[in-house]
Amino acid sequence: MGIVAEATGATGFLQQLIGRIDPWLILEKAISLLVIALLTVVVLKIATHIIDRVFDKKKTDVDSSQMRRTVTLNNSTKTFIRSLILLAAVLIALSLFIDVGAIVAVAGVGTLAIGLGAKGLVEDLMAGFVIILENYFDVGDYVTIESQYGMIESIGIRTTTIRKTTGELFIIQNGQIDRVLNHSKGAILGTVRIDVSYDENLVQVFQILDHLMPRLYEERPELFMELPEVFGVSDTKPSSLEISIYAQCTAALKIRCEAYIRKRILETFVEENIAFPYEVITLQEPDKEGNKGNAHGQ
């Protein structure tokens, strides 16, 4: 009898619970949520379109640095606006079921505790805004951060990503970025060093290089910002003289610029019969009695 009574009581409770459910109210809430979701998608698309129109990259194609700045502001503004729209949509959806004002009041009471727990997050957000506003670097810039060299791939409100030249993606929190070496703020200096044998006529070598530099500039003008310059002898080595060539270029093209200069210099030296230096090693051959004999060079 006790089991039957308990089953009857549970059944009655379920019937009362079902009786309190208003199917029309549930339908109304579901339709409201659907409308909120659709409006959120529409507003996101409209906001994205407006931001793309404001930060139109076609207006700044002439200046690559300004174009990178435009891309950075475009992405950052989209991230910020999307976060606000999604937050507003969530609050509106919650207001259909609970009192949002009460939640805000409770959040106000717990602001201190939440702030202490999310201190790192707040620092990252603030640092992200400072990086963008102060224009430390833009998307597409080549930088060195924490000994990591590469191209800025994205700047988020919390993290920054760097695509290294070897392909790896380095991610760092904005609040941890202390010192930045930006290689894309203006021209940088590409350096090429070529070794020449002591037996060569330096006057002839410099004449060949001086005639070659304008040809390089004409052949590949996209690699150079100014005419490459032959600096002169930068070091004396045991078996060769080191000649340095400098060329102003962008950080993105520095490696290609230096590689092209080396390639053309080596080709020209072969054409002009300029010998490449080689290391000379002196060997001492002992005689039968163990004394040092004649020296042979290799």
- Tokens read off for 111: 């602001």
**Which DSSP string do the residues of 156-221 spell out, in sequence order?**
-SSEEEEEETTS-EEEEEGGG---EEES-SS-EEEEEEEEE-TTS-HHHHHHHHHHHHHHHHHH-G
Strand partners, 229: 246
Q: What is the pLDDT of residue 70?
A: 75
Q: Which range, of 17-26, 220-229, 234-243, 274-283, averages the lowest pLDDT?
A: 17-26
Report if pTM > 0.85.
no
Domain spans, the chain? 2-109, 130-182, 188-271
Rounded Cα–Cα distance for residues 83 and 45 (Å): 13
Measured from the Cβ of residue 294, the count of other Cβ atoms closer than 10 Å reads 8
pLDDT band for position 58 (cuts 50, 70, 90): low
pLDDT recorded at residue 63: 56
Average pLDDT, integer, range 211-221? 92
Structural contact between residues 280 and 287, judged by C-beta atoms closer than 8 angstroms: no
Choose between 187 and 164: higher pLDDT: 164
According to DSSP, the residues that pair with 193 across neighbouring strands are 244
More confident residue, 80 or 24: 80
Greatest mean pLDDT among 6-20, 172-186, 197-211, 266-280 lies in: 197-211
CA distance 246 to 239: 23
Model pLDDT, residue 128 = 81
| Phi/psi of residue 246, nearest 5 degrees | -115, 145
13: pLDDT strictly greater than 70: no
The CATH code for residues 130-182 is 2.30.30.60
pLDDT greater at residue 173 or residue 74: 173
Contact between 233 and 281 under an 8 Å Cβ cutoff? The reply is: no
The fold for domain 188-271 equals Alpha-Beta Plaits (3.30.70)
* Predicted pLDDT of residue 60: 47
Q: Once rounded to an integer, what is the mean pLDDT over residues 35-41?
A: 89
